[in-house]
Amino acid sequence: MFKGLTAQRLLAVFALGWLLLNFPLLSVWDRSVIVWGIPLLPAALFVGWAVLIVLLAWITERSQD
Amino acid sequence: MLSAPLVVGASFAYLLLLFGVAHFGDRRARQGRSVIGNAWVYAFSMGVYCTAWTYFGSIGRAASSGVWFLPIYLGPTLAMVLAWMVVRKMIRISRSYRITSIADFIASRYGKSRLLAALVTLIAVVGILPYVALQLKAIASGYAVLTTAPGASPAAVGAWWLDSTLYIALALAGFTIAFGTRHLDTTERHEGMVAAIAVESVIKLLAFLAVGAFVTWGLFDGPADIFARGRAVPDIDRLLRLEQGAPFAYAQWFALTLLAMLSVVFLPRQFQMMVVENVDERHLKRAAWVFPLYMLAINAFVLPIALGGLLHFGIGAADPETFVLSLPLAVGQHALALVAFIGGLSAATGMVIVEAIAISTMVCNDLVMPWLLRTQRFGAAADSDLGGTLLAIRRAVIVALLLLGYLYFRLAGEAYALVSIGLISFAAVAQFAPALLGGMYWKGGTRAGALAGMAAGFALWAYTLMLPSIAKSGWWPDAFLKRGPFGIELLKPEQFLGLAGLDGLTHSLFWSLLANGALYFAVSMWRGPSARDASQALLFVDVFERSSATAAGSGPVFWRGRAKVADLLGLAGRFLGRDTAQRVFADYARRAGVARVEQIPPDAQLVHFVETQLAGAIGGASARVMVASVVEEEPLALDDVMRILDEASQLRAYSQALEEKSHSLEKATAELRMANEQLKSLDRLKDDFMSSVTHELRTPLTSIRALAELMQADADMDAAHRRQFLAIVVGETERLTRLVSQVLDMAKIESGHAEWRDAEVDLRALLDQAVQTTSEMFHERGATLTLQMPQQLRTLRADPDRLTQVLLNLLGNAAKFVPREGGRVDVRLLADEAGATVEVQDNGPGVPPEQQQVVFEKFRQGGDALNRPQGTGLGLPISRQIVEHFGGRMWLRSEPGQGACFGFVLPWKGKCVAEAGRQNGEETNDDLQDPDRR
């Protein structure tokens, strides 16, 4: 169930997701900074979210089992 | 504002469109050309997660607290990361055991307990009511915004029969009935509904994006402009940071993420879409990333719309939850506002339809049916077809659910924001997590543990979250909120046992999940599983190991007793319909290898099969009871379960052993075939050899005979002539003798009967001697011979006579092939770690590449037939045999015009290797024993 490369990669992405989108890493982005016209906090949340989706797509579309 | 008939007309037109899609999907399904059989439709049907909450509520949330609308979508994204492992297992279990709802799933895991199924259903119904109310409220307030003149306050809610929300609820109930309960399906799959929901997901996304793009680039000058203007207003700038006047509530962020993560799988409608309606588990792979991408897309414009609305209307001047409608309206974009309303309606109706169908299945199968089956009229003894009754029950449940939702809306709807209402439902379904997830991965969970955990969790949820929500709406004196029931401060619902500092949701989630999980594990471990618990646990936890075996008919079936085929067929006919039952049994008979239904052996496999079929129609728990009522069962003890499991695994082991055996037989056959081929080729070689030998013998014999006949015929032949003839006869006879002795030699070596007189051999002395023996020959041909040897050389164990034979053969060959004038032969002896190497290099014409392979074969002489020197064609093959006997190797290196270099290497310890090889049998048999060596 949790064996195999695909499963291990997914577990790693899951851990990454919890870290990236939760306290305390969240507070790292909490600054009064503008990136391409968008405040850093929402920009970082959406970018982190998108990164997760890209990783997820890469892993699941590659897996053969 | 828009006219009410226009809005109502557009809404009905939209619902009719959805209905048309569903009808199309159903028709295609009946024709066997499913429209939902691809991963994209599956992914979009999961979009039913995004309801009016997303469409209206998220903007309200964003307008009051910034990024706090996000955890509700980040959680499901994280859940989808694990979907390939967790949801796939749920799909496999549900497919294997015909599970059609989350209540059925949990109850089936814990020994098909009817009590547990009823409890899960109860939690789902009560928990989901606020969520249904949320959809009603969203549609009602959206409708009010569209149809009320700007500036006028919405008409106060009058008597209940004048309330438009009631009619919205009834209309939705009507549509749900039309969608989901037109006919009965044993697998509870609704292809048409899935197609309609997928379309609905696309429509709400497009409508929302349209409004978002309009606000961002129509009303403002892109997102940068909105954020720049927002940051100029302190109250809006505050929303873009984590700490909004108070410390960041990271516990709540964590709780919301976790809650949403659980809900995306455990909400009845999500379970229906992800697990029950799944066509192919592989679709999950694509849906796992497309669905999060869908959520990302539908949330991209939430902040711009929220900020845009606040900037446009001013803070507090308009309800942020309806910005998506009021912003287009305020600037006269009526068509866009209507599109936005249709999108919101789409989001709300999608949720209501799927949720109500899922709930109606649960209530019918797990609450009403067990009770109904106990009554005289419908019980085991009755002979009535229940299909119609089932449908009627489901329809009634749908209407009741919508009316109850409306009731909750009237009771508590006004006081709460949309998001807060939805979160109450999320917290309720989170109570399924310990029993469901624990049951999928832990074999020790028991029915008692699941019951205790879920009941406690549900009670605490109701006490700490549901009751306060009703009390705060003013329908209940809220004194007990402030001072605790009966004045007991410790029991205050929102600060249970004095736990303060958390918001209401996190507080309730903490207590309910804590009690739920703790009791589940503690009670499970306290009593240990019963036989029924244990058998179901095995089937669930090891589903990936067993499902393939079950298909082959060798999986374990935990049942013992006596049954009659006719009884089971009759039972199936009552719930599935007589024709369907007959067809299903005929299929089973075909798979069991018998001609007629009556001949099916009434064994445990059949009982299990019928029970699984019934489970699809009336739920696992009811199916268990109904099957038990027509067969004679013997109770199973835990030992029996283990025994049956043992038998099944033994059976599997046997079949594996059988497979292995047949595999090794195949391998042996292949080896034998190969050996046979080899024997045949050896036989052919022998024939070739025989014909070559006779040919070689006949040449000298012919000349001897011819000369002898000449001498016989001519008695007066002069002495000189006669001597010449006799010399030739003697020479030819010697050649014959040499040939015969070489053939004998070869045969002896090949058959392993040759005599080997091994001794310590000094290769230097041997080589010296051989060179001296042949020096006369070289001298005659005018060739020079050089010899290079090291000063010292260790001895090796071999037969000196045989080695001399090899050396003489190589030197003799060289002498034969060197040119008449200026011939030159170099003999080298080299030594290294592995062994001694002898090379004989001549400057003759060399051996052409195509002949290099054959010179070591018998009777294949080098050179062309015309100027070929005399020889038997056996010298080199014998030499090679000798060298190989001592574990060495012989080779030829030659380039045309550069002469030929024959050489061989003898290992210092080669004899041992050869000896070991000989102990295994004849040399020629070696290849037979190890065909891979070739």
DSSP string for B270-332 = HHIIIIIS-S-TTHHHHHHHHHHHHHHHHHTTHHHHHHHHHHHH-TTTS-GGGHHHHHHHHTT
Alpha-carbon span A30 to A26, nearest angstrom = 7
Q: Is the pLDDT of residue B734 over 70?
A: yes
Exposure string over B246-265, b if 16+ CB within 10 A, otherwise e: eebbebbbbbbbbbbbbbbb
Q: What is the pLDDT at residue B549?
A: 42
Q: A65 at the B interface (CB within 8 A)?
A: no
Contact yes or no for B77/B88 (Cβ under 8 A): no
Task: Taking residues B193-219, report their average pLDDT.
Answer: 91
Count other C-beta atoms under 10 Å from residue B598's C-beta: 11
Q: Dig out the tokens for B558 from the structure.
A: 């935990």
Q: Tell me, what's the pLDDT at B78?
A: 93
Angle between helices B387-412 and B334-362 (to 10 degrees): 130
Query: Could you give the 3-state DSSP secondary structure of residue B643?
Result: helix
Over 50: is that where the pLDDT of B288 sits? yes
- DSSP 3-state assignment of A22? coil
Nearest-CA distance from A3 to chain B in Å?
10
Q: What amino acid occupies position B583?
A: R
Closest Cβ–Cβ partner in B81, B224, B303 for A42:
B303
B476's tokens: 């209940």
Tens of pLDDT, residue by residue over B42-75, are 999 999 998 888 888 889 888 888 888 889 899 9
Which residue in chain B has the smallest CA separation from A22?
Answer: B254
Question: CA of A44 to nearest chain B CA: how many angstroms apart?
Answer: 11
Who's near B216: CB < 8 A, 6+ residues apart? B222, B223, B226, B301, B304, B305, B308
pLDDT recorded at residue B296: 94
Residue B893 scores a pLDDT above 80: yes
Chain B residue numbers touching A13 (CB-CB < 8 A): 81
Question: Quick one: pLDDT band at residue B457, thresholds 50, 70, 90?
Answer: very high
Distances (CA, A) of B443 to B92, B523, B542: 17, 14, 9
The predicted model gives B105-114 an average pLDDT of 85
The runs of H, that is alpha helices, within B181-249 are 191-213, 223-232, 234-237
| d(CA A28, nearest CA chain B) in Å | 10
Q: In the prediction, which pLDDT does B194 show? A: 87
Query: What gap in Å lies between CA A33 and CA A27, rounded to an integer?
Result: 13
Contacts of A46 in chain B (CB under 8 A): 296, 300
Rounded CA-CA distance B701/B714 in Å is: 20
- The predicted model gives B217-226 an average pLDDT of 88
Q: How far is CA B34 from CA A35, B193, B280, in A?
A: 47, 12, 12
From the list B765, B736, B754, B776, the residue with the least C-alpha distance to B886 is: B754
Instruction: Give the largest CA-CA distance in chain B.
Output: 157
pLDDT at B154: 53
Angle between helices B58-65 and B302-313 (to 10 degrees): 70
Provide mean pLDDT across the span B481-500. 72
Q: pLDDT band at B928, cuts 50/70/90? A: very low
Which residue in chain B is spatially nearest to A2 when comparing CA positions?
A: B85
- pLDDT of B227 > 80? The answer is yes
Which residues are paired to B785 by β-bridges?
A: B825
Model confidence pLDDT, tens digit, residues B544-602: 776 554 444 445 666 777 777 888 888 888 777 778 788 888 888 888 778 777 777 77
A38 close to B (CB below 8 A): yes
Contact (CB, 8 A) for A65 and A8: no
Q: pLDDT tens digits, residue range B681-727?
A: 888 878 887 887 787 788 888 888 888 888 888 878 888 888 888 88
CA–CA distance, B52 with B344 (Å, rounded to integer): 6
Mean predicted confidence (pLDDT) in B640-652: 68
Classify strands B796-798 and B784-788 as parallel, antiparallel or unpaired: unpaired
Q: What is the pLDDT of residue B927?
A: 40
| Beta-carbon separation of A38 and B223 below 8 A | yes
Confidence band of B442 (pLDDT split at 50, 70, 90): confident
**Distance (Å) from the alpha carbon of A1 to chain B's nearest alpha carbon:** 6
- Please name the residue ranges forming H helices in B714-855: 719-751, 763-780, 800-817, 849-852
pLDDT tens, residue by residue, B360-400: 888 888 888 878 777 756 655 555 666 677 788 888 989 99
Helix, strand, coil share of chain B (percent; to 5) = 70, 5, 25
Parallel, antiparallel, or unpaired for β B784-788 and B824-831? parallel
Q: Which residues of B touch A17 (CB under 8 A)?
A: 74, 77-78, 81
Task: Quote the tokens at residue B66.
Answer: 């910034």
Measured between beta carbons, the chain B residues lying within 8 angstroms of A38 are 223-224, 227
* pLDDT range class, residue B146, cuts 50, 70, 90: confident
Contacts of B102 (CB under 8 A, 6+ apart): B120, B124, B266, B268, B271, B358, B362, B432, B436
Query: A37 — contact with chain B (CB < 8 Å)?
Result: yes
pLDDT at B157: 52
List, in sequence order, every residue forming a beta bridge with A39; answer none if it has no partner.
A34
A22/B89 Cβ within 8 A: no
Q: Does A45 touch chain B (CB under 8 A)?
A: yes
Extract the tokens encoding B198. Answer: 């997928």
Q: Is the minimum CB–CB distance between B39 and chain A shorter than 8 Å? A: no
For the ranges B242-251, B309-318, B321-330, B829-838, the lowest mean pLDDT is seen at B242-251
The one-letter amino acid at A4: G
What pLDDT band is residue B290 in, cutting at 50, 70 and 90? Answer: very high
CA of B312: how far to CAs of B226, B304, B317, in Å?
10, 12, 10
Q: Pick B378 or A56 by higher pLDDT.
A: A56
Query: For residues B224 and A38, what is the distance between their CA atoms, to the nearest angstrom?
Result: 6
Query: Which pLDDT belongs to residue B416?
Result: 66
Nearest-CA distance B492 → chain A (Å): 29
The pLDDT of B224-236, averaged and rounded, is 85
Which pLDDT score, from 0 to 100, does residue B61 have? 86
Residue B149's pLDDT band (boundaries 50, 70, 90)?
Answer: low
pLDDT band at B912 (very low <50, low <70, confident <90, very high): very low
**Encoding tokens for residue B291?**
């669905």
**What single-letter amino acid sits at B631?**
V
Collapsing DSSP to helix, strand or coil, B378 comes out as coil
Quote the pLDDT of residue B456: 92
Among residues of chain B, what percentage have pLDDT more than 70?
86
Three-state secondary structure call for residue B709: helix
Question: Does the beta-carbon distance from B67 to A42 stay under 8 Å?
Answer: yes
Phi, psi of B882 (to 5 degrees): -65, -50
Number of Cβ within a 10 Å radius of residue B202? 14
Which of B358-372, B472-486, B660-674 has the weakest average pLDDT?
B472-486
Mark out the alpha helices in B300-432 (DSSP H runs).
302-313, 323-330, 334-362, 369-374, 387-412, 418-429
Question: Contact B81/A45, CB-based, under 8 Å?
Answer: no
B222 to chain A: closest CA residue: A37
Contact B175, B19 (CB under 8 A): yes
Tokens of B485: 């029931």
- Whether residues A13 and B84 touch (CB distance < 8 A) is answered with no
* DSSP category for residue B379: S
Average pLDDT over residues B672-687: 88
- Chain A interface disruption, residue of B40, B70, B78, most A CBs within 10 A: B78
DSSP string, B644-676: HHHHHHHHHHHHHHHHHHHHHHHHHHHHHHHHH
Distance CA B273, CA B100 (A): 11
Mean pLDDT of B658-686: 89
Query: Which is it for strands B561-562 and B796-798: parallel, antiparallel or unpaired?
Result: unpaired
* Residues of chain B positioned with their CB less than 8 A from the CB of A62: none
**B931 pLDDT exceeds 50?**
no
Which residue from B minimizes the CA distance to A26?
Answer: B242
Report CB contact under 8 Å: A41, B242. Answer: yes
Amino acid at B514: L
Amino acid in position B355: E
- Kindly determine whether residue A34 and residue B81, on different chains, have CB atoms separated by under 8 Å: no
Beta-carbon separation of A46 and B300 below 8 A:
yes
Partner A, chain B 157-186, Cβ-Cβ below 8 Å = none
User: Which contiguous run of DSSP H or E holds residue B857?
Assistant: none
Runs of H (alpha helix) within B714-752: 719-751
Q: How many Å apart are CA B360 and CA B393, to the nearest integer?
A: 8
Over 90: is that where the pLDDT of B798 sits? no
The phi, psi pair for B332, rounded to 5°, reads 80, 10
Question: What is the rounded distance in angstroms from the CA atom of residue B436 to the CA atom of residue B210?
Answer: 40
Q: Tens digits of per-residue pLDDT, B401-435?
A: 999 888 888 877 666 666 677 788 888 889 999 99
User: Rounded CA gap, B250 and B231, in Å?
Assistant: 24
Confidence class for position B659, pLDDT limits 50, 70, 90 = confident
Q: Do A49 and B292 touch (CB under 8 A)?
A: yes
Nearest to A56 among B74, B223, B288 (CB): B288
Please answer whether residues B109 and B439 qualify as being in contact, where contact means their C-beta atoms are separated by less than 8 angstroms: yes
CB atoms within 10 A of CB B792: 7
Cβ of residue A5 closer than 8 Å to a chain B Cβ: no
- In chain B, the percentage of residues whose pLDDT exceeds 90 is 11
Chain B residues touching A53 at Cβ < 8 A: 77, 289, 292-293, 296
Q: By the 8 A CB rule, do B76 and B83 touch?
A: no
The mean pLDDT value for B451-468 works out to 88
B477, burial (CB in 10 Å: exposed 0-12, middle 13-18, buried 19+): exposed
Q: Which residue has the tokens 């920009």?
A: A43
Candidates A53, A63, A65: best to mutate against B (most CBs of B within 10 A) is A53
User: Helices B604-618 & B565-576, crossing angle to 10 degrees?
Assistant: 10
Per the prediction, chain B carries an average pLDDT of 81
- Residue among B424, B359, B403, B347 nearest B138 (CA): B347
Strand partners, B900: B894
DSSP 8-state code for residue B858: T
Q: How far is CA B718 from CA B228, B707, B709, in A?
A: 135, 14, 15
Q: What is the pLDDT of residue B467?
A: 80
SS3 B463: helix
Residue B35 phi/psi, 5° resolution?
A: -90, -10
Q: If contacts are CB pairs under 8 Å, which of residues 7-36 in chain A contact chain B?
A: 7, 10-11, 13-14, 17-18, 21-24, 26-27, 30, 32, 34, 36
The pTM score is 0.68
- The answer for B 529-558 residues in CB contact with A (under 8 A) is 544
Confidence of residue B871 (pLDDT cuts 50, 70, 90): low
Neighbours of B837 (CB within 10 A): 17
- Which of B294, B296, B285, B263 lies closest to B81, judged by CA? B285
Report the distance separating Cα B923 and Cα B925, nearest Å: 5
Q: In angstroms, rounded to a whole number, what is the distance separating the alpha carbons of residues B640 and B632?
A: 17
- Are B240 and A7 inside 8 Å of each other by CB? no
List B561's β-bridge partners, or say none.
B633
Q: Is the pLDDT of residue B273 over 50?
A: yes
